[in-house]
Amino acid sequence: MEVLTLLLSLLILLSIVLMSWRRHKKRLDLPPGPVPLPLLGNVLQGNTKLYESHRKLSKQYGPVFTIWMGSTPAVVLCGYEVLKDALIIHSHQFGARGSMPVTERLSKGYGIIGVNGERWKQMRRFVLTTLRNFGMGKRSMEEKIQEEVQHLVQAVEQTGGELLDPLDLLERSVNNIINFTVFGRRWDYEDKQCLKYLNITNSLIGFIRSPLGVTYAAFPRIMRYLPGPHQKIFQDSEVLTSFFHEQIRFHWNTLDSDSPRDLIDCFLIKSNEEKDLNESEFCTENLVHSIQNLYVAGTETTTNTLQFGLLVMLKYPHIQAKVQMEIDKIVGSDRLPGLADRAQMHYTNAVIHEIQRFLDLVPMALPHMLTEDTVFRGFNIPKGTTVIPILGSALWDPALWKTPEEFNPGHFLDEKGQFCSRAAFIPFSAGKRICPGEGLARMEIFLFFTTLLQKFAIRPASPTDTFNLGILRRAFRKKGLFYQMRAIPRTCTEEN
């Protein structure tokens, strides 16, 4: 028995030594980085800790460095110039999606986000085309968003200026934009089915960001079979996909090819058109998981941006007052704000952009992967290497922003007070893998934000409440942001 134990121990030790030797050999050919631990690599740093330490690591190793997730290396990119070089100038080499074990288990190789090659090209082209045809940037989608904002305004009015947690109402309202786009309808804010699916979505996103989710991403082959709360997350996600299947069956039974109602109808029509093409990707699996990708990604990010935006208005009442003065001047009180107003609302547009910059909601882009052996910034990086672009390193780059650590709408205003865009403003990423829902998200944020400020004065729950935005913006990377406020109905002239 002792001999068997000794042999087993030697075998384990030999395996660790062999793995360490192989990793050391790989490290010689990759950009430098922190020394990985045996078996674990740099996984203890996790996503959040990597983002918090990327400045220190980039100072020590340069703007291109390597970390290890278990036995898998990942090249990290920091700084706007490096990001532009990789994602835009060398978009062909850096344009593939890297491994995302959680997404791969959920989507089974289908959908938009976690796929590559012809499948990704066809699905992305379809989604972009469909969103444009259904009004991304056009009047029809604008009207639908305005209609939903009115439902939100009514719900806020019902609070009578009493304490309000904005997260619940914002989440349900933003989710209805996705519901309309995908399913052709909205749900009541108290609909139990809708709330159940939102809870499943929130649990999934929370898991991905948690230490358990980071561990799963580093060791998917082991974690897939280990018991734990992550197993329930995946089980609950099947409930969500069952709902999508149900909606697809309803659409098949009621489809009018001459009058598509939503994204599902458009997909089914395209599927019929290409049913005899072997290379077509318009199958049920791709539809289900494309819906899943849109449903998960399309609600949380916009909701959190609006929630943080209202918090900024609580923190800086003088900025709120200036935005409301501009709304009163350009829009007035007899109609809702529209997209055509945005070009004249320079200060409001700057505030919205600064909210997104300062919040830095998605500091790390989804992983990319090199499509071929590439010489980049003096390093020979092999095909198939995972690449992690740190978007926040551009949004908070002190060389590009006057006061990156402070909330400053002046970052997006020229000397005449006119709105000016900034190349380093890349909250939706850049290049081939830029978020396909960027246009829709920008519409939603502008219309929701301006309408809420047109109708309400945003006040803290208590006059003594204080907010540290630098700390609170990080809450989204952990358990989320929770606060209460009061929304006091206003007239167009009361704060002038």
Token representation of residue 346: 């320079």
Measured at the alpha carbon of residue 201, what is the angle toward residues 197 and 207, in degrees to the nearest 5? Answer: 145
Phi, psi (5° rounding) for residue 430? -155, 165
The three-state (H, E, C) secondary structure of the chain, written as one string: CHHHHHHHHHHHHHHHHHHHHHHHHHHHHCCCCCCCECCCECHHHHHHHHHHHHHHHHHHHCCEEEEEECCEEEEEECCHHHHHHHHHHCHHHHCEECCCHHHHHHHCCCCCCCCCHHHHHHHHHHHHHHHHHCCCCCHHHHHHHHHHHHHHHHHHHCCCCCCECHHHHHHHHHHHHHHHHHHCCCCCCCCHHHHHHHHHHHHHHHHHHCHHHHHHHHCHHHHCCCCCHHHHHHHHHHHHHHHHHHHHHHHHHCCCCCCCCCHHHHHHHHHHHCCCCCCCCCCHHHHHHHHHHHHHHHHHHHHHHHHHHHHHHHHCHHHHHHHHHHHHHHCCCCCCCCHHHHHHCHHHHHHHHHHHHHHCCCCECCCEECCCCEEECCEEECCCCEEEEECHHHHCCCCCCCCCCCCCHHHHECCCCCECCCCCCCCCCCHHHCCCCHHHHHHHHHHHHHHHHHHEEEEECCCCCCCCHHHHHHHHHCCCCCCCEEEEECCCCCCC
Helix, strand or coil for residue 381?
A: strand
Structure tokens at 99: 């491994």
**What distance lies between CA 117 and its chain's CA centroid?**
22
Tally of CB atoms within 10 A around 257? 10
Q: How far apart are CA 87 and CA 92, in angstroms?
A: 8
492 is in an annotated binding site: no
165 Rama class: left (phi>0) / alpha (psi -120 to 50) / beta: beta
Virtual CA dihedral for 157, 307, 102, 72, nearest 10 degrees?
180
CA 293 to chain centre: 11
Q: Which helix (H) or strand (E) segment is 386 a member of?
A: strand 386-389
Binding region for heme: 435
Binding region: 435
